Each structure stands twice: as structure tokens, then as C-alpha cells.
Amino acid sequence: MDKTSCITLIGMPGAGKSTLGVVLAKIINFNFIDADLLIQTHSDKTLQKIIDALGPEGFIEVENEVLSTLQAERSVIATGGSAVYSDEAMTHLATLGPVVYLRVSYDELKNRLGGLHERGVVMKGGSNMNLLDLYEERTPLYEKYADIVLDIDGLSVRDAANKLVDMLSLV
């Protein structure tokens, strides 16, 4: 892997993108970028307030605008779970370096997450969508955009980060 590259983490809400991203960045001496915080700063609103004001499609447009223009080097980028709804953003992020899908099983995800609606989660199908619907809708998108898939069920954050470091050395 190019030492100026970025590593982009994608996956479901609750998969640990931000948590693992911080640990990974420390291990490999990279910067850490939380895309959700960039979106909040850009809009001067919380994610949930953006979704409430603009709806899911409007939020996706804002997210796309922020991610498709992101410039970074030597950074671990933790995206929001909905980043994969924007082909433009994902194509841009792929030009910055490898995209890593943090894959977590549905059962593990159920155990990790409380309510989705308090987390600022984009539900394209509206409030009648449940976690399983969201999981089934997004999984093929994560697989489509991933250069690397890391199964994280049963791994500690540090173990997952170290496993990813080993996988990235092969890229």
C-alpha cells in the first residue's frame, strides 16, 4: 500500500468504523477522519437534524457532496453507513486508497445496536424499515465497493485493527 494513501472504512451502523478507525490510525501513524463529523460541521447540524430537515435523499446528497470532494493523505476515513448509497462518493474514496468493509453478522449487529432512529441512521424506506431490511439493502453495496472485507464478529477492536494491518500489507 502506498504510504500516502488513505484507508476508507465502510459498513453498517454499529460495525465499529469510528472506533476501529481511531485504533488503526494510531497503529499505522495515520490521521483519522470521521466523515459523520465532517458532514455535521459542513451543515452545522447533527446527522439526525439533517435527516429530519432534508429527508433521507437530501441527507445522501449532503453526504455525497462532502465525501466526493474530500481531500486527504495518510488518513483512515470512517464513513457513515449510508456512504455506499452514493456511487460518486465511493468512486472518489476508492481513488484515495483501499476501501475496507467491516463485515458484521446480523445477529452481532442486533446485539450491538440500540434503536436505529436515535443514531442518525439513513432509512431510505422510511421509519417502517427495520434493522434486517437495512442490513439486506446495504450488504450488497458494501460488498460492491470493498477492496478488502474484514469479518469482525468476535474480534476485539485491537485484534481487528491488527488483522487489518496484516491484510493491508498485502495490498
Give the model confidence (pLDDT) of 120-161 as tens digits.
Answer: 667 676 667 788 888 999 999 999 999 999 999 999 999 999
Residue 131 pLDDT: 84
pLDDT given for residue 157 in this prediction: 93
- What pLDDT score was predicted for residue 112? 77
Predicted local confidence at residue 113, as pLDDT: 76
Q: How many other C-beta atoms are found inside a 10 Å radius of the C-beta of residue 35?
A: 24
Cα gap 121→82, rounded to integer Å? 8
Domains of the chain, first to last: 7-159 (3.40.50.300)
Taking a C-beta distance cutoff of 8 angstroms, is the pair 148, 167 a contact? yes
pTM (2 d.p.): 0.93
pLDDT of residue 118: 55
CA distance 67 to 168: 22
At 117 the pLDDT is 55
Q: Which residue has the higher pLDDT, 165 or 1?
A: 165
Q: What is the mean pLDDT of residues 161-166?
A: 94
Residue 120 has a pLDDT of: 60
Q: pLDDT tens, 96-119?
A: 999 999 999 998 888 877 655 555
Q: Which residues contact 116 (CB under 8 A, 6 or more apart)?
A: 13, 123, 130, 131, 134
Closest listed residue to residue 100, CA positions, set 18, 24, 14, 11 = 11
What are the start-end ranges of the E strands in the chain?
A: 7-10, 31-34, 75-78, 99-103, 148-151
What does the pLDDT look like over 11-69, one tens digit per residue? 998 899 999 999 999 999 999 999 999 999 999 999 889 988 998 899 999 999 999 99
